[in-house]
Amino acid sequence: MSGRVVLVTGCSSGGIGYALCERFAAEGCRVYATARRLEAMAGLDAHPQVSLQTLDVTVEEDVHRVVDLIVAEAGQIDIVVNNGAVQPLDNVRATFDANTHGALSVAQAAFPHMAARCSGLVVNIGSIVADIAVPWNGLYSATKAAMRAMTDILYMELKPFNINVMYIAPGSVRSNIASNQASRFSLREGSLYTTFLPNIIQRMNASQGANSLPADKFARQVVARALQKKPPRYLTLGGNSTTFKVFSWLPKAWVLWALWRLYSRRTN
């Protein structure tokens, strides 16, 4: 299973992508770690199996540049991990470009090289909130719901070329992304939601609670499944993943009511 060539997007320090790169490299894979800025991935290049490349998944030319570079250097791409994402602030288009369109662009660019060898794996990192939206996280939920649907389509349409597609729905995974967002988040002056600001910050930090799964343990489990001869089509793990699985069996109206009550307690 070692020696596979892996492209991972969204590899900033302290995040899921960073941990996945370390784990794939530990398993003997040749890893290409990408982010918009090289300095955001500081430390990853200490591993001889990891190469760093700048990549903006929202720019199609940039995606093809990186994919072509990998094929030229390594001769192939075996696994693509679409992890690149941004948390929504106030730019709807930018969030969909990064979280959804970017993932499709990377998969599309890698597809001809995988199809030529009748082998490959596309791993899309989604979220448990793709199926059950959570207050104050609507745009992110929408982008991940689109990715979930896109993954199902890719699963069917890539099957004739023996390319597997795997969807990961993380629950709470410990990283620095949420805390970074919460520390600089603010509402526009005069916003009608000012009284809900503590609830919004609470939701941002919800994935970093005591039951959240450390990123390295998350990566270990994901990589182990990805390197199997027959990777699973769907995998969910992390804090609250079981709770959301139960939610999927309950009436949607009741679940949304309960989530709103949880994240709408006013402080004044």
Token pair recorded at residue 208:
């970093």
Known catalytic residues are 140, 144
Buried b (16+ CB within 10 A) or exposed e, 112-130: ebbeeeebbbbbbbbbbbb
Buried b (16+ CB within 10 A) or exposed e, 174-194: bbebbeebbeeeeeeeeeeee
Roughly what angle, to the nearest 10 degrees, separates helices 60-74 and 102-117? Answer: 30
| Distance separating alpha carbons of residues 80 and 124, to the nearest angstrom | 8
| Distance separating alpha carbons of residues 257 and 134, to the nearest angstrom | 10
Contact 95, 139 (CB under 8 A): yes
Contacts of 37 (CB under 8 A, 6+ apart): 54
| Distance separating alpha carbons of residues 237 and 247, to the nearest angstrom | 15
- Please state, in angstroms and as integers, the Cα–Cα distance from residue 180 to each residue in 35, 36, 44, 55, 184, following that order: 16, 17, 20, 21, 7
- Number of Cβ within a 10 Å radius of residue 199: 19
Left if phi > 0, otherwise alpha if psi is -120 to 50, otherwise beta: which for 190? left
Radius of gyration of the chain (CA): 19
Contact 161, 116 (CB under 8 A): no
